[in-house]
Amino acid sequence: MDRTSLTVLIQQQLSMARDAASGRSAHTVYGGHARTLRQTLIAITGGRRLDDHESPGEATLHVLHGRVRLTAGDAAEEGEAGDLLIIPDARHALEALEDSAVLLTVAKR
């Protein structure tokens, strides 16, 4: 069995995001290309976003730190630390309303 401290990862990834020109940083916590299930911690500085992109399969977004807005077309949902957002099976975008960290869980198609 393995154990990962999400608290430490949040701090590391937010620090990296603050130093990055894109204002983002990501780390695969579990899975990857060889597995069906993938979990990625994504840190985004306030005011930055992940532009519209396709859904990679069934997916959820667990907000671990900060506040975010998930949009798909005209629909939008905000989440804050502790919230779990269901990612629609449609093009969507993610905006950080403040420095934020989320855990993206995907069951790839």
Helix (H, G, I), strand (E, B) or coil at 100: strand
Residue whose tokens read 């990679």: 56
pLDDT at 30 over 70: yes
Confidence at residue 109, expressed as pLDDT on a 0 to 100 scale: 66
- At the topology level of CATH, where does 6-108 sit? Jelly Rolls (2.60.120)
pLDDT in tens, 81-105: 999 999 998 899 999 999 999 999 9
| Tokens coding 78 | 């905000």
Measured between its terminal Cα atoms, the distance across the chain in Å is: 26
Q: Which residues pair with 49 in a beta bridge?
A: 95
Ranges of each domain in the chain: 6-108
pLDDT at 62 over 90: yes
